[in-house]
Amino acid sequence: MATKKNATRTAEIFRILDATYPNAECALHHSNAWELLVATILSAQCTDKRVNEVTPGLFAKYPTIRDFAAARQEVLAADIRSTGFFNNKAKSVIGAAKKILNDFGGEMPKTLEELVTVPGAARKTANVVLGTAFGIASGIVVDTHVQRIANRLGLTKNQDPVKIEQDLMKIVPRDHWILFSHQLIHFGRGICVARKPKCVECPLNSLCKSPDKTA
């Protein structure tokens, strides 16, 4: 009986998210899968806004994967300095470009198994690229927003992103995996923020039993 009640509740959560964020999309600007991979690598510990300020000039300077592969690490690091952790990010981007050129003929791989072998593309990043650039539902992106909100809404009891993803994949319909992540990320930025969530204006308020609730 409890299971049926839970299923009804989660279905209602998905319905409200669909009504509130019907067209939620990735906030990182890109024009192809490679650019999205680069932007996602740069977005670690950085805002999407800052990344979007950096990438137009970056992609103009390095128009192709081959250009990134040929870049000197210290030069690329200087180009992406404002995104933070620039040395590691430059190393990852150049490593990713070389890997894609050498092992995948210059084409972005389209499976999770292949993509996670690319430097800088762990499971979360691979899910972002496959879902957003190719429309392939390989899994559910679990970033800090998804991690926090899935717990607040009782969709998981885990803190580990891999375990949260497994929990969510069992209850979110597969044709919603891509959209669901974008919806929670938008919701997490606008309403269910980390500190002092705006529960007064939350469309999921009546379904939320989180101790973090402010109203």
Residues that bind ligand SF4 (CB under 6 A): 152-153, 191-192, 197-199, 202, 204-205, 208, 210, 212-213
The answer to whether 20 and 204 have CB atoms below 8 angstroms apart is no
Nearer to ligand SF4, 23 or 206 (CB): 206
- The verdict on whether 48 is a catalytic residue reads no
Active site residue: 79, 89, 99, 143, which one?
Answer: 143
Amino acid at 95: G
User: Smallest gap, in angstroms, from Cβ of residue 65 to ligand SF4?
Assistant: 40
> Looking at the chain, how many residues does it have?
215
Nearer to ligand SF4, 151 or 166 (CB): 151
**Which residues 6+ apart lie within 8 Å of 123 measured at CB?**
112, 116, 139, 162, 165
User: Smallest gap, in angstroms, from Cβ of residue 19 to ligand SF4?
Assistant: 15
Q: Which residue carries 């081959």 as its tokens? A: 66
Nearer to ligand SF4, 18 or 114 (CB): 18
User: Smallest gap, in angstroms, from Cβ of residue 88 to ligand SF4?
Assistant: 32
Q: Which residues of 191-210 are buried (b: 16+ CB within 10 A; e: fewer)?
A: bbeeeebebeebebeeebeb
Q: How many CB atoms lie within 10 A of CB 68?
A: 24
The answer to whether 147 and 161 have CB atoms below 8 angstroms apart is yes
User: Smallest gap, in angstroms, from Cβ of residue 121 to ligand SF4?
Assistant: 30
Q: How many CB atoms lie within 10 A of CB 57?
A: 11
Nearer to ligand SF4, 136 or 208 (CB): 208
Q: How many CB atoms lie within 10 A of CB 27?
A: 16
Active site residue: 79, 89, 99, 124, which one?
Answer: 124
- The verdict on whether 61 is a catalytic residue reads no
Residues taking part in catalysis: 124, 143
